Amino acid sequence: MHKDYLRVAAVTPFVTPALPQKNIDGALRLIRKAGGAALVVLPELCVTGCTCEDLFLHAALLDSAEEALALLISETKASGALIAVGMPVRRGQGLYNCAAVFQGGRLLGVVPKSRIPRASPYAENRYFLSGAGLDGTVSLCGEEVPFGPDLLFDGGGGFRVAFEIGNDISGHTDAAVIGNLAACEEGAGRRAYWNSLLRVQSARLAAGIVSASAGDGESTGNAVFSGSRAIAENGAVLAQSGIEECIGVTATEIDLGLLAYERRRVTGDAGAASAMRVIPFRRGGTAGGALTRHYSPEPFIPEENDALATRCHEVMSAQIRGLRTRLDRLPGTGAAVAVSGGLDSTLALLIAHQAAKQERRKLLAVTMPGPGTTQRTLSNAEALCKALGVKLKHVPIGGALEGHLKDIEHDGRPDIVFENAQARERAQIIMDIANAENSIVVGSSDLSEMALGFCTYGGDHMSMYNVNAGVPKTLMRRIVRFVAGKSAKALRTVLYDIVDTPISPELLPVGPDGTQDQRSEDILGDYLVHDFFLYWFLRYGYTREKLLAAAGRAFEGRYLPESLEAVLDVFMARFAHSQFKRNASPDGPRVGSVSLSREDWRMPADLARLP
């Protein structure tokens, strides 16, 4: 496993109120089950139970809790994990709800809870003082250790951990990971609220959050405790316990490299820990092992159906607004789209159709069949325009292509010149027609093609405004299917057939049977895998090694490791050598968190290779 990945675990043991020794036995079993984790977080007050009420004031319970902690520290000496466990701690005449943090048989520090709610199911403010603003030390288990909410535990390599106790997470900007010890009562909607909070706070802080909450065994006199456990990272919940899993271990890997990249990119990494007291420790846990965190094979696409429909609607809305604004700034100007019957031009036409209708501008579609055009795509282009009620102009390019190749003394063999000449001939025709119609050319080249440079410079690479500039190929398929699903029969039928048509530039002559053997994915590798690499490389700066590790996890059982490596070789080489095309690309709307516009991505155009 790559050094950037940090194995973490949230643990909820069975708790019997007021019996610390018994509680520690249960905690030990689960900590051992989480073997290999570098960080283990247990719930708030789990040494005693959080529902002891007035017994919290009794010295017998507090003495027993301290003895149990000493035993737990001793019994976990060999684990190497940094462990945080919740318990009541005396300091002076006060009592505090704390996280005791230890590793390798040594107590490192004690973090008190800062925000004591006025109302809680276990009358917390009746027993505990707030630790806000406190510092210094506390005597616990025969040691004098740092005490305060300002403790930052630094294991090196970006592994900086802070701990918070309770159901609210304010966040430490100095920490890459926050351990949250909680006692969340169960209730309708509570789990969804908590996950939403973890997403928002982890995104706001560009941090990982490991949260463990009290569960079974606690008194149910005033509340039922859920035992919910969740691990979040930069706006996403990576792992969580099921609604019936009140006792157990929830574990996965947090990507410290991803968090560091995000802080450099967005927040400027607030890692100057001047306001925090730093406590160094040696990072433990298993260095190797298999990666277990979930990676979606389609990172541009939400995994929930409702979220996917929303995403499609939002992306199309941004594309339409972008083109509408462009048309609005050009009084009387219409739009022209080159329609091939393929996926990219279909989405461009759908967007242009809506924008032109809303702006009350004319829209013209032009289809330019050539030597490689199949009857299927030509028929689909015609059927699409008919279903939308868009005027379609046919301009065959065979004669013009033949004359042009003769002019440059080309023998007409199907090579790269033969292919690119068609793309440039089509660009010239659509632009000249648009000129005559007082229209702008709406481009269709997508984000995946721009990443790979799989477009002809000065050909399909060029337009006056490219509505597809921010849409990757995998998402484009889903958007067109989304439109099809809510369309009338004629439009629905043709859109589904376009989605099912193999992706091809159709620049090589068709075979004797009229079929086209030229397929983009036979040349490049699957767009599914390219889009995966594109997302993680561009969005989070993944290295080659991490891209392969993540892809191996995402496509496990679907692609062999050597197949993924071959596609990655193509991606890395083509991405490095295609910047000159991106530097001269037309304007287009940014529709997501990954963009290759001139403002969003800058790189030397003469780069030999990617690092």
User: Are 310 and 269 in the same domain?
Assistant: no
SS3 508: coil
DSSP-assigned letters across all residues of 263-310? IIIII-----GGGSEEEE----S-SS----S---S-TTS-SSHHHHHH
- Of the chain, the end-to-end C-alpha distance in Å amounts to 20
What is the per-residue pLDDT for 451?
97
What is the per-residue pLDDT for 273?
47
Within-domain flag for 396: yes
Within-domain flag for 187: yes
For residues 300 and 446, what is the distance between their CA atoms, to the nearest angstrom?
14
What is the per-residue pLDDT for 172?
74
What is the per-residue pLDDT for 271?
47
What is the per-residue pLDDT for 119?
72
Nearest to 51 by CA among 193, 215, 209, 170: 215
CB-CB contact of 186 with 270 (8 Å): no
| 20-33 vs 59-75: helix crossing angle, rounded to 10 | 20
User: What would the pLDDT profile of 44-63 be if each residue is shown by its tens digit?
Assistant: 999 999 999 999 999 999 99
User: Are 311 and 360 in the same domain?
Assistant: yes
What is the per-residue pLDDT for 267?
64
CB-CB contact of 559 with 552 (8 Å): no
Within-domain flag for 548: no
Q: Which stretches of the chain drop beneath a pLDDT of 70?
A: 121, 267-274, 286-288
User: Are 239 and 345 in the same domain?
Assistant: no
User: Are 109 and 220 in the same domain?
Assistant: yes
User: Are 324 and 276 in the same domain?
Assistant: no
For residues 387 and 108, what is the distance between their CA atoms, to the nearest angstrom?
70
SS3 142: coil
Within-domain flag for 451: yes
User: Are 174 and 69 in the same domain?
Assistant: yes
User: Are 265 and 314 in the same domain?
Assistant: no
Phi, psi of 48 (to 5 degrees): -105, -25
Within-domain flag for 541: no
What is the per-residue pLDDT for 274?
59
Within-domain flag for 604: no
Q: Give the range of the structural domain holding residue 403, as residue numbers without chain letter.
A: 305-524+578-583
Domain count along the chain: 2
For residues 293 and 553, what is the distance between their CA atoms, to the nearest angstrom?
8
User: Are 253 and 346 in the same domain?
Assistant: no
Domain CATH number, residue 65? 3.60.110.10
233 Cβ contact list (under 8 Å, min separation 6): 202, 207, 208, 209, 254, 255, 258, 259
User: Are 274 and 310 in the same domain?
Assistant: no
Residue 489: CB atoms within 10 Å? 8
What is the per-residue pLDDT for 479?
98
Within-domain flag for 557: no
User: Are 225 and 364 in the same domain?
Assistant: no
User: Are 342 and 201 in the same domain?
Assistant: no
Domain CATH number, residue 512? 3.40.50.620
User: Are 202 and 313 in the same domain?
Assistant: no
Residue 334: CB atoms within 10 Å? 18
User: What would the pLDDT profile of 128-151 be if each residue is shown by its tens digit?
Assistant: 999 999 999 999 999 999 999 999
Within-domain flag for 102: yes
For residues 597 and 470, what is the distance between their CA atoms, to the nearest angstrom?
8
